[in-house]
């Protein structure tokens, strides 16, 4: 494989046994494991720099604020944003989408407007829009997905033509099928129709390079924990002109300029959207994870995962599995079903052999119903995986088939 196997050694959680077998972690789309340097960055914060951000005028406060703002600048550079104020820290991708859905909708969404979300969206990019639609009397309409598990661009075009579309919300990479969506094309089409655009980048950060300033999008939502970083932190990228017009998401300390009972005024972005005590510890870990990804290289990661994916798909098919979807552009994620074996039964077989895979609907119930599947088994790859990891899965398939055949 294109990445050295020594990378695996940097991940302490991978050095253990499960059910008497070496742990084989194949669920990185749910959350990736963390390299030691990320774990150290988080604990180092608590050991040396623990203070509230933007508050204490003393040394620890300065360190904490520097780590936090340093992470912001690093993320800005990492995703190619023009200004650091375009990065709002949140507790995860879900909160990032909720923030946009709330604040953007409060400013722009009107009665009978339409929000388009693709049928393959994660519940996190459906439900916040449904809730916003309900508040404003707007409608959420799904963009159909083809049998190959790609967004149906013809149908998308018709919807843009026929409906008063104000927002198009789609994911960058599909956590259930691995589809890499043509976000630039989708965003361009949406903009030509006068719509705003939200990209759910939960699966994007560690797998596809983006340059948000070159994309005609309003928002890009991210999670640190799916990109080798700690849980509990994520971010929303929003174009400066867009963020400046939006009302706050939550009220509290830090997001205000001045508070009085006559007139409270808010800070400029990003502060306006970051109410209360922030999470500099995990921001420091997030930054360290971005450094890790940069050193390995997003392209190298994608190539590594692609090589394993292609070999793995063949192995799985030879073992009798049906791969779900065949999009032209695909990340290191494979969904498959086994004839006569329910995915949930299969996961017990793989768990028994020390392999961690995800089974079920992957928080994409509308996609599963449109594919007519109760769920799938999913393998998702990261830097530390190798093709040998797949041998265990094949062993699990064989032992499941001995019982279910």
Partner 1 sequence: MLQELYQEVILDHSKSPRNSGVIDEPSHQAEGFNPFCGDQVKVMLIVDEGLIQEIRFSGQGCAISQASASMMTQAVKGHTVAEARDIFKTFHKAVTEDDEPDIDVLNELASLCGVKAYPSRIKCATLAWHAMEEALENHA
Catalytically active residues, by annotation = 363
Burial (CB count <10 Å: 0-12, 13-18, 19+), residue 157 = middle
Is the bond leading into 73 cis (omega within 30 degrees of zero)?
Answer: no
Q: Which is nearer to ligand PLP, 200 or 305 (CB)?
A: 200
Does 279 help bind ligand PLP (rule: CB under 6 A)?
no
Does 94 help bind ligand PLP (rule: CB under 6 A)?
yes
Q: How are beta strands 234-238 and 87-90 bridged, if at all? A: antiparallel
Does 202 help bind ligand PLP (rule: CB under 6 A)?
yes
How far apart CA 201 and CA 203 sit, in angstroms, is: 5
Q: Which is nearer to ligand PLP, 49 or 175 (CB)?
A: 175
What are the angstrom distances between the C-alpha of 59 and each of 49, 52, 56, 63, 73? 8, 11, 8, 6, 21
Q: Which is nearer to ligand PLP, 198 or 355 (CB)?
A: 198
Q: Which is nearer to partner 1, 65 or 359 (CB)?
A: 359
Q: How are beta strands 219-223 and 234-238 bridged, if at all? A: antiparallel
x/- map, 98-137, ligand PLP, by CB under 6 A: ------------------------x-xx------------
Alpha carbon 101 to its chain's center: 16
The CB density around residue 106, as the number of other CB atoms within 10 Å, is 15
Enumerate residues 303-342 that contact ligand PLP by CB under 6 A: none
According to DSSP, residue 248 is labeled P
Enumerate residues 234-263 that contact ligand PLP by CB under 6 A: 234
How far apart CA 27 and CA 119 sit, in angstroms, is: 23
Which of ligand PLP, partner 1, none does 298 bind, CB closer than 5 to 8 A by kind?
none
The CA-CA-CA angle for residues 290, 291, 295, to 5°, reads 115
How far apart CA 225 and CA 279 sit, in angstroms, is: 14
Q: CB of residue 405 vs partner 1: minimum separation in angstroms? A: 10
Q: CB of residue 368 vs partner 1: minimum separation in angstroms? A: 7
Which of partner 1, ligand PLP, none does 171 bind, CB closer than 5 to 8 A by kind?
ligand PLP
Q: CB of residue 92 vs ligand PLP: minimum separation in angstroms? A: 3
Binds ligand PLP (CB under 6 A): choice among 33, 203, 279, 376: 203
Answer whether 189's CB lies under 8 Å from 195's CB. Answer: no
Binds ligand PLP (CB under 6 A): choice among 33, 49, 92, 99: 92
Does 378 help bind ligand PLP (rule: CB under 6 A)?
no
Q: CB of residue 184 vs ligand PLP: minimum separation in angstroms? A: 18
Q: CB of residue 171 vs ligand PLP: minimum separation in angstroms? A: 5
Burial (CB count <10 Å: 0-12, 13-18, 19+), residue 303 = middle
Which of partner 1, ligand PLP, none does 354 bind, CB closer than 5 to 8 A by kind?
none
Q: Which is nearer to partner 1, 52 or 399 (CB)?
A: 399
How far apart CA 50 and CA 278 sit, in angstroms, is: 12
Category of 80 on φ-ψ map: left (φ > 0), alpha (ψ -120 to 50) or beta: left
How far apart CA 65 and CA 139 sit, in angstroms, is: 41
Binds ligand PLP (CB under 6 A): choice among 101, 217, 223, 368: 223
As given in the structure block, the two tokens for residue 230 are 């700690």
Q: What is the dihedral of CA 167, 204, 202, 38, to 10 degrees?
A: -150
Binds ligand PLP (CB under 6 A): choice among 85, 200, 282, 305: 200
3-state secondary structure at position 34? coil
Q: CB of residue 204 vs ligand PLP: minimum separation in angstroms? A: 9
Nearest C-alpha neighbor of 64 from the set 258, 277, 270: 277
Q: CB of residue 290 vs partner 1: minimum separation in angstroms? A: 31
Q: CB of residue 376 vs partner 1: minimum separation in angstroms? A: 10
Residue numbers at the binding site for partner 1 (CB under 8 A): 342-345, 348-349, 351-352, 359-361, 365, 368, 374-375, 399, 403-404
Which of partner 1, ligand PLP, none does 348 bind, CB closer than 5 to 8 A by kind?
partner 1
Stretch that binds ligand PLP, among 80-88, 145-153, 196-204, 302-310 (CB under 6 A): 196-204
Which chain residues interact with ligand PLP by CB under 6 A? 92-94, 122, 124-125, 171, 175, 200, 202-203, 223, 225, 234, 363
């Amino acid at each position: 494989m294109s990445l050295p196997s020594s990378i695996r050694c940097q991940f302490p959680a991978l050095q253990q046994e499960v059910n008497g077998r070496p742990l084989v972690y194949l669920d990185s789309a749910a959350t990736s494991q963390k390299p030691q340097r990320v774990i150290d960055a988080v604990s180092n914060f608590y050991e040396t720099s623990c203070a509230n951000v933007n508050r204490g005028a003393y040394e620890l406060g300065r360190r904490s604020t520097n780590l936090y703002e340093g992470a912001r600048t690093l993320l800005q550079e990492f995703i190619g944003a023009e200004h650091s104020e375009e990065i709002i820290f949140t507790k995860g991708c879900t909160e990032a989408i909720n923030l946009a859905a709330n604040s953007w909708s409060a400013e722009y969404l009107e009665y009978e407007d339409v929000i388009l979300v693709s049928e393959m969206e994660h519940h996190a990019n459906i439900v916040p829009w449904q809730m916003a639609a309900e508040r404003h009397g707007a409608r959420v309409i799904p963009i159909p997905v083809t049998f190959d598990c790609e967004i149906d661009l013809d149908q998308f075009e018709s919807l843009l033509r026929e409906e008063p579309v104000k927002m198009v919300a789609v994911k960058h990479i599909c956590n259930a099928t691995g589809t890499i969506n043509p976000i630039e094309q989708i965003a361009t089409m949406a903009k030509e129709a006068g719509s705003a655009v939200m990209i759910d980048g939960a699966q994007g950060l560690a797998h596809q390079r983006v340059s948000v300033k070159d994309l005609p999008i309003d928002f890009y939502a991210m999670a640190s924990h799916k990109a080798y970083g700690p849980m509990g932190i994520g971010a929303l990228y929003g174009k400066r002109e867009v963020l400046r017009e939006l009302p706050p998401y939550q009220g509290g300390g830090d997001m205000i300029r001045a508070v009085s009972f006559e007139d409270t005024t808010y800070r400029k972005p990003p502060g306006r959207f970051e109410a209360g005590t922030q999470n500099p510890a995990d921001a420091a870990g997030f930054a360290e994870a971005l450094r890790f990804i940069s050193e390995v290289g997003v392209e190298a990661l994608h190539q590594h995962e692609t090589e394993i994916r292609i070999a793995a798909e063949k192995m799985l098919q030879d073992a009798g599995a049906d791969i779900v979807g065949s999009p032209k552009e695909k990340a290191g994620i494979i969904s498959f079903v086994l004839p006569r074996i329910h995915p949930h039964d299969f996961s017990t077989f793989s768990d028994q052999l020390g392999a961690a895979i995800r089974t079920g609907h992957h928080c994409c119930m509308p996609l599963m119903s449109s594919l007519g599947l109760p769920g799938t088994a999913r393998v998702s790859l990261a830097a530390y995986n190798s093709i040998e990891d797949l041998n265990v899965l094949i062993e699990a398939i064989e032992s499941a088939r001995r019982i279910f055949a």
